A and B are shown apart, each in its own frame.
Chain A
């Protein structure tokens, strides 16, 4: 599998993502600079975490209008896999690849800690390596991860099995005490209609080796590789 990572001014988890992709594929992903107007031929584009354009205007809003994102969108429409993590989730949402919006955390503070994540569907190339209902431990690190959409959109997401992950307790129970940012219906990650675009706030790339305290993020990268090979 060939993968690319899009790098914006202010991206800061692109190296973490690169390490995770390399671990899964054995190859270095291509790093694509935001000013580039064309993408190399790849099977997957990862939009990494960080503070693209300093989060000015609105998280992800400026990056969503960068030249390279037009190209990412066109390829995604044609079926290529795209994963947006944290700021990357904000960017692909702002770009219209995913519905809804990411608001400021309910308590207005940045939050960095491991959270429980319940796998809501194994029916995607990103989550095929997990069992539905499986509980993962993966860190979050964000200021604006409070997912919101109107009830109709949310019902549609649920009806179409497009909620990938929800914040939960250690046994998989849903409760606001386990939700780090106040996101609606405890949503942590969602898929698009075609199931080839995933956006999520937590950082699976920071849970890929024993030193991280959890290796639960590994299966996500592994399933993406297996899906195309």
Chain B
């Protein structure tokens, strides 16, 4: 069957390996590799699996804190949330597959990230997703939005895990390369976390879950190359998801994890059986021998090469205690899933693969991992843009008319059309639904809750990667704070262009620097992450997009703030300093048609001081209405609070403020709008002053309109503008 194939330079190039990398392969092997071996090198050394361009920079991120149980390097990060409980979470991209086949690409992205989380022993309790599409007018956009949203819903809804948050942006730079970043948060007992390091020579290696097919072969390699016009031909490299099988796999794995049977477990994600077997054996410092004839397959005549590189979904690899085999088999039989003993751990340090009675591969594991290429790619800093003063930006005739345009624009319009397609209520623990600053999920049986959010402002990162990187981290921290949670840690999903271009590598390096600074200043380490490079089509890169997923905890879900105004006659205050920063603002882009200037500075000291103060008010039960100020500035924030609560407000531009349009639409950081009962306002202001937190009164809640300096806009009118964009774009009511 297996005709030995001569490895030509063309074959090497098709596998995404450079001539130098192939030379290293020859050195490690001491001979010419077989096709299967070459395939394994190819995926293990792909950008996606090896982080060869990004590792030197990622090392700069802080990953430790007393509450970090597991930082980057495992399937997902793990943090201690007290009471013997742990939160397990990670975000991962599925960009290229989603562009080629939006429904399946997005669905399997969701499936993959959930698997990463339950592999660690956690039950997934929430999903989030950060989506970036091209311009609304691009001919492919509607097709992509429709498919991606349906795919995310199709998978998450069936799994019975609520999809509770995320973000959606539109920008021309994503026309040929959308971003689909999926995040899952899970809950585990902090002393029952499962890891992937194999142990115990002679222990059986077990394959469970769905059968292996020919789908997704070389998915990881595809994710490590640029797109061209003929990328559609790569559709066969996109995997096909089956959430029903994954639901069974989830329940079976958690049932097995409640016993004492598992030594190590690793999901088969990118690079499938290859990366799972290599990772398990390399982390355990052992060899592994697999008999590929025993792998459950759904197609006939699959070769060793195909079996090892398939990215069929819903599969897991485990090392079990031999004495627990019967118990484990019974559980997988109950859930009607394949359970196959396909190999054994050895002391050889080699990965040995047998197929049809022949050895298809025999390669040393340690050098395959440790000698993986590592590049310190040349980079140049992004030229900084000039600051734009509010007085140099023309003022609109009517601030409320500008507000209407802005809240109806692609980036600020309501996302209801999206999240109503996601089951955000299953499990019955959703304390804060989509549409607020952060989603809040209560933990079963207690009043403690987790808050979660995902954020990034790519236009800031593009203009100033360092500032933008810090801002993305700070914004997640602020969003968690605004609901009353204590932010604990983040996961990062770095979406960038081609790292072989020095200006792209510069964006990457500087964004990491900014993120690292923010993480350190806020005691907010990185515990997991994913890097997606080569997000380019025909040489045009996306806006650099380091999506940050943040997780925080609150002791009592009864002390939670939401954005909605709750009562009339309350005072509306802004905490934090407003200087009217219009550079890179939504106002500048949507009203003036300019996408330029330096983005707002991020003062991490102020961020922390003001955030801690706001959280204190919420924890004390003094504030239940709070909204972070971000895209669109103050007036957009207040309008969102009014629309959410169905209660208007009367606002006055404070005397001595900068230009009114700068004041209301500037995107200065570290600010929150709160509403407090009128009789409590004075005390709140005094406390703020004592804490060194700038505070200013904006107005008072009440009525069915938003009034500003004598002009008014009805809430109903604002709401219809705000809600119209997506239904209109997607042609649906």
Interface residues of A (CB under 8 A from B): 9-10, 12-13, 15-16, 19, 49-51, 53-56, 107, 109-113, 139, 141, 143, 203, 205-206, 208, 211-212
Contact = CB atoms under 8 A, between A and B. Distances in A.
Given A13-B426, A15-B427, A111 B420 contact: yes
Given A112-B423, A211-B442, A212-B425, 19 more contacts: A9-B244, A12-B160, A16-B426, A49-B426, A50-B160, A51-B247, A53-B244, A54-B158, A54-B242, A54-B244, A107-B733, A110-B150, A110-B421, A110-B422, A112-B420, A141-B423, A206-B425, A206-B426, A206-B428
7 contacts: A9-B335, A16-B426, A16-B427, A111-B421, A112-B425, A211-B431, A211-B557
A112 B157 CA distance: 10
A141 B426 contact: yes
B599 interface: no
Contacts of A55: 158, 244
A13 B160 contact: yes
A203 B733 CA distance: 23
B158 A51 contact: yes
Contacts of B336: 9
Interface in B61-77: none
Contacts of B419: 112
A110 B423 contact: yes
Contacts of B463: none
Ranked nearest first, the 9 interchain pairs of A and B with the lowest CB-CB distance are A12-B160, A54-B244, A16-B428, A141-B423, A51-B158, A110-B421, A112-B423, A110-B153, A206-B425
Contacts of A19: 428
Interface string B240-255: 0011110110000000
Contacts of B153: 110
B248 A9 contact: yes
Contacts of A10: 158, 244, 247-248
B423 A51 contact: no
A141 B427 contact: no
Contacts of B722: none
A10 B252 CA distance: 12
B421 A109 contact: yes
B615 interface: no
Nearest to B156: A110
Contact of B243 (A54, A111, A206): A54
B548 to A, nearest CB: 26
B258 interface: no
A139 B335 contact: no
A107 B426 contact: no
Nearest to A106: B733
A219 B638 CA distance: 37
Contacts of B248: 9-10
B732 interface: yes
B428 A141 contact: no
Contacts of A111: 420-421
Nearest to B159: A12
A141 to B, nearest CB: 4
A136 to B, nearest CB: 15
B608 interface: no
B424 interface: yes
A206 B248 CA distance: 23
Contacts of B424: 112
A102 to B, nearest CB: 16
Nearest to A56: B244
A139 B430 CA distance: 12
Nearest to B153: A110
Contacts of B244: 9-10, 51, 53-56
Nearest to B251: A9
B442 to A, nearest CB: 7
A207 to B, nearest CB: 9
A11 to B, nearest CB: 8
Interface in B428-476: 428, 431, 442
A159 to B, nearest CB: 33
Contacts of B422: 110, 112
A16 to B, nearest CB: 4
Contact of A15 (B245, B335, B421, B428): B428
Nearest to B149: A109
A169 to B, nearest CB: 15
Interface string B137-167: 0000000000000100110011110000000
